[in-house]
Structure 1
Amino acid sequence: MVYITEDMVRRRAEHNECEIFSLEEVSLHQQDIERIEHIDRWCRDLKILYLQNNLIPRIENVGRLKKLQYLNLALNNIEVIENLEGCESLQKLDLTVNFVGRLSSVESLQRNVHLTEMFLVGNPCAEFQGYRQYVVASLPRLQRLDGTEISRSERIRAAQGLEQVERRVREQENVYLKRRARETEEAQGKEAGEEKGNKERKAGFDGRWYTDINNTAPVLGENKENQEVKENRASPDLDDERREKEFWHTPCSFTPESRVEVHRHLEEKKKTKEKEREKKPKAPRTLITDKGRVMNVNEPKLDFALTEDEENNTIVLNLEVFRHMDSSLIDVDVQPTYARVIVKGKIFQMVLPAEVKPDSSTAQRSQTTGHLVLTMPRVEGEIKGTNIVPRPPRVCRSRRRPSEDNNS
Structure 2
Amino acid sequence: MVRVTEELIRRRAEHNNCEIFTLEEVSLHQQDIERIEHIDKWCRDLKILYLQNNLIPKIENVGKLKKLEYLNLALNNIEVIENLEGCESLVKLDLTLNFVGRLSSVGALRENLHLKELFLVGNPCTEFQGYRQYVVACLPQLQCLDGSPIGRAERIRAQQDLDVVRRRVQEQEEDYVQKREKQKREGLEKSQRPGSERDEDSQSVLCSENTDVRDHQSPGLDSESEQTQPSEEQGLEQRDREFWEKPCAFTPESRLEAHHHLEEKRRAKEREREKPQKVKPRTLITAEGRVLNVNEAKLDFTLTDDEESNCVLLDLHVYRHMDTSLLDVHVQPTYLRVTVKGKVFQLVLPAEVKPDSSTAQRSQTTGHLLVTMPKAHGDIKPKKFSFSHSNTQFTHRPSPERECMRKRERLEVEPGKHSAVDLASLTLRGDYTRQQPLRLPANQQLPATKETPISKDFVDNPDVPPLI
- Which of 255, 259, 262 in structure 2 is aligned with 1:259? 255
- 1:45-194 to structure 2, matched below 5 A, reads 45-193=45-193
**Separation in 1 of the partners of 2:395 and 2:366?**
31
Q: Deviations over 1:21-42 (max 9, x none)?
A: 0000000011111111110111
Partner of 1:355: 361
Evaluate the alpha carbon distance shift between residue 210 and residue 130 of structure 1 in structure 2; reply closer, same or farther with a 3 A threshold.
closer
Q: Deviations over 1:198-250 (max 9, x none)?
A: 9x99xxxxxxx999x9xxxxx9xx96749989977786455434322221111
Partner of 1:333: 323
Match of 1:273 among 259, 269, 272: 269
Deviation at 1:186, TM superposition (A): 1.0
Give the 5 Å matches for 1:356-375.
none
Write out per-residue CA displacement over residues 15-66 of structure 1, whole angstroms, 9 at most, x where no aligned residue.
1000000000000011111111110111000000000011111101111111
Contact 1:27 1:50 in 2 (8 A): yes
Change (3 A) 1:384 1:8: farther
**Aligned-pair CA distance for 1:5:** 1.1
**CA distance in 1: counterparts of 2:225 and 2:293, whole angstroms:** 49
Which amino acid is 2:188 matched to?
A: Q
AA in 2 matched with 1:270: R
**TM-score, length basis structure 2:** 0.58
Change (3 A) 1:270 1:25: same
Deviation at residue 189 of structure 1 after TM alignment = 1.3
Paired residue secondary structure (1:62):
coil
Cα distance change, pair 78–388 in 1 and its aligned pair in 2 (3 A): same
**Separation (CA, whole Å) in 2 of partners of 1:124 and 1:210:** 38
Where does structure 2 lack aligned partners over 5 or more consecutive residues? 286-291, 300-318, 329-340, 346-359, 371-386, 397-405, 414-420, 422-468
Q: Distance in 2 between matches of 1:21 and 1:258?
A: 37
Q: Could you say what the CA RMSD is over the residues aligned between the two structures, in angstroms?
A: 4.5
Gap change, CA 1:185 and 1:226, over 3 Å in 2 = farther
**1:70-102 deviation per Cα after TM superposition (whole angstroms, max 9, x unaligned):** 000001110000000111111100001100000
Partners of 2:263 and 2:218 lie apart in 1 by 36
SS of residue in 1 equivalent to 2:323 = strand
Q: From the superposition, tell whether residues 235 and 18 of structure 1 become closer, same or farther in structure 2 (CA, over 3 Å).
A: closer
CA distance in 1, matches of 2:105, 2:275: 51
Q: Which residue does the alignment assign to 2:333?
A: none
Report SS of the residue matched to 1:268: helix
Task: Report what 1:246 is aligned to.
Answer: 242
How many Å apart are 1:282 and its aligned residue?
A: 9.0
Contact 2:388–2:394 (CA under 8 A) maintained in structure 1:
no
Give the aligned residue type for 1:355: Q
Letter in 1 for 2:122: G
Shift in alpha-carbon separation, 1:333–1:192, aligned structure 2, 3 A: same
Change (3 A) 1:171 1:140: same
Relative CO higher for 1 or 2, CA cutoff 8 Å, sep ≥ 6? 1
2:383 maps to: none
User: 1:8: which partner in 2?
Assistant: 8
Q: Cα gap change, 1:238/1:64 in structure 2, threshold over 3 Å: closer, same or farther?
A: same
Contact 1:337 1:356 in 2 (8 A): no
Q: Report the equivalent of 2:460.
A: none
Q: What is the DSSP-based 3-state SS (H/G/I as helix, E as strand, rest coil) of the residue aligned with 2:49?
A: strand
Matches within 5 A, 1:291-330: 295=297
C-alpha displacement of 1:4 = 1.0
The CA deviation at 1:191 is: 1.6
Cα 1:292–1:180 shift into 2, 3 Å: closer
- State the partner residue of 1:196: 195
Change (3 A) 1:76 1:384: same
**Equivalent-residue separation in structure 2 for 1:210 and 1:168 (angstroms):** 49
1:223-238 aligned within 5 A: 225=217, 236-238=232-234
Aligned counterpart, 2:36: 36
Aligned length: 318
Q: Which amino acid aligns with 2:195?
A: K
Q: Which amino acid is the alignment partner of residue 333 of structure 1?
A: D
Identity of aligned residues (%): 57
Deviation at 1:318, TM superposition (A): 8.8
CA shift in 2, pair 1:91/1:240, >3 Å: same
Change in 2 beyond 3 A, CA 1:230/1:245: farther
Match of 2:403 in 1: none
Q: Secondary structure at the match of 1:33?
A: coil
The Cα shift of 1:291 comes to: 8.0
1:29 and 1:52 in contact (8 A); partners too:
yes
| Aligned-partner SS, 2:58 | coil
Local SS of the residue matching 1:26: strand
Q: Distance in 2 between matches of 1:294 and 1:269?
A: 33
Distance 1:294 1:174, change over 3 A: closer
Larger-Rg structure = 2
- Aligned residue identity for 2:260: R
Contact 1:336–1:356 (Cα < 8 Å) also in 2? no
Alpha-carbon offset, residue 196 of structure 1? 3.4
Matched residue type, 1:196: G
- Offset at residue 387 of structure 1 (A): 4.1
2:144 counterpart letter in structure 1: R
CA shift at 1:185, angstroms? 1.0
- Structure 1 position 388, deviation (Å): 6.1
SS of equivalent residue, structure 2 residue 90? coil
In 1: Cα distance, 2:327 partner to 2:239 partner: 55
**Aligned residue in 2 for 1:311:** none
